[in-house]
Structure 1
Amino acid sequence: MAAQAEVLDELHRLLARLPQLTGALAASVDGLVLAQETRGVEPEGLAALTAAAQGIALRFADVTGQGDFRELLVRSAHGYVATYRAGPSAVLTLLAEGRVNVGRLHLEGRRSGQRISELLGSAVHQPAPAPQQAPATTTGGALPVRTPSARADRAPRSANGEAPNQ
C-alpha cells in the first residue's frame, strides 16, 4: 500500500529531525501496525499497547469532560513514550530518551501525527471549542464523587494532628 510507504518515510524524517527518538510507530486505532521503526521493541506488541492506551485516554477525556483525545505522555525511569492522534483511524507512538526536550517532542509528534493523518486521507481538523457539556456516562453510571464529610463532634486539628489549645 502506497500510503504505508509514505507513512514510513514520515517516520524516518521524524527520527532524523529528533535524534533523541529511539523508535516510532504508526498504528491503527485497532492496534495493527501501519508502519514502524522500532529497534529492540516488538512492533505488534507496541501497537496493541498503543491502542489500549488510547482507549484509556479516550475514557479519561470523556469522563472528565476534557474533549477529544489528542495526546498521551508516559515518563519512565529511562525515557518517554508519547502517543499522538493521527486522525480518526490512526495513532502515532514515539519512544524517546530521557534527555529529550519534551516541548520539541510534542511539537514534532503533533506535526507528524497531522502529516500521517493527511497521508491516510483522514485529516485531523481542529474544530472550534464546543459548548461545555456534562461528561457522558456509560451503562455503569457516573463515577462516584468523594466528598469529605463534616463532623461537628470532632474538634479541629492542627497540621501535626493535635487539638489546638483552648
Structure 2
Amino acid sequence: MRADVLNSILAELNGSSADIEASAVLSTDGLMMASMLPQSLDEDRVGAMGAAMLSLGDRTSRELQRGELEQVLVKGSKGYVLMTHAGPDAVLSVLCKPNARLGLIFLDVKRAAESVSKII
C-alpha cells in the first residue's frame, strides 16, 4: 500500500518535467523504498550512495556552519543528481538531464519530498 502511494508520487514527479529522467525514495540507511529508475542502475547501489551522500552533506553543512541541509546537488557531464530529505527517515533522489531547468525542478522535488514525508 505505502509503496503504491510512493510510486504514484514518483510517477507524478517524473511526469512534471521532461528534464527528470528517474527518481527514487530511499531510507536514510540506504534501503530502496520506491523507485522509477532505469534497469541499467542497481537499486542497492543507488540506495547506498544516496544515503552516504546525504549523510556527508548533513555533516558538511553542520561542520561548516551552513545551517540545516536542504539538498545535495551533484553535476556530472551527463546530468545532475539531486537529493533531499523527505522527512527524518527518507531521502528523495532525482536524476536530471544536463540542460535541466533546475529552478522548476527544485520546486517539484520539494513538493514531492513533502508528500513523501507525510506517508513515511
Which residues of 2 match residues 1-166 of structure 1 at below 5 A? 2-39=1-38, 40-120=40-120
| CA-atom RMSD in angstroms | 0.9
Gaps of 5+ in 2: none
3-state SS of 1:114 partner? helix
| SS of aligned partner of 1:80 | strand
Give me the whole-angstrom Cα distance separating, in 2, the residues matched to 1:8 and 1:116: 10
Size of the aligned set, in residue pairs, is: 119
* Aligned sequence identity (%): 24
1:23 maps to amino acid: A
Superposition deviation, residue 11 in structure 1: 0.1
Deviations 1:54-103 (A, max 9, x none): 11101111101222221111111010000011000000000011111010
Tell me, in whole angstroms, the C-alpha distance in 2 between the residues paired with 1:92 and 1:116: 8
What TM-score, normalized by structure 1, do the two folds share?
Answer: 0.70
Q: Which has the higher contact order (CA 8 A, sep 6+)?
A: 2
Which whole-Å deviations, capped at 9, do the CAs of 1:112-135 have from their partners, x for residues lacking one? 111100111xxxxxxxxxxxxxxx
CA distance in 1 between counterparts of 2:99 and 2:70 reads 23
The structure with the larger Rg is 1
Q: Which amino acid aligns with 1:16?
A: G
29-38 vs 102-111, greater mean Cα deviation: 102-111
Matches of 1:50 and 1:29 in 2, distance apart?
Answer: 8
Q: In structure 2, how many angstroms separate the alpha carbons of the residues matched to 1:111 and 1:41?
A: 25
What is the TM-score when the length of structure 2 is the normalising length? 0.95
Amino acid at match of 1:27: L
Please list every run of at least 4 consecutive aligned residues from structure 1 whose deviation after the TM superposition is greater than 2 angstroms.
none
Q: Point out the structure with the larger strand share.
A: 2
Q: Hey, which of these two has a bigger chunk of helix by percent?
A: 2
Equivalent position SS for 2:34? strand
The unaligned stretches of length 5 or more in structure 1 are: 121-166
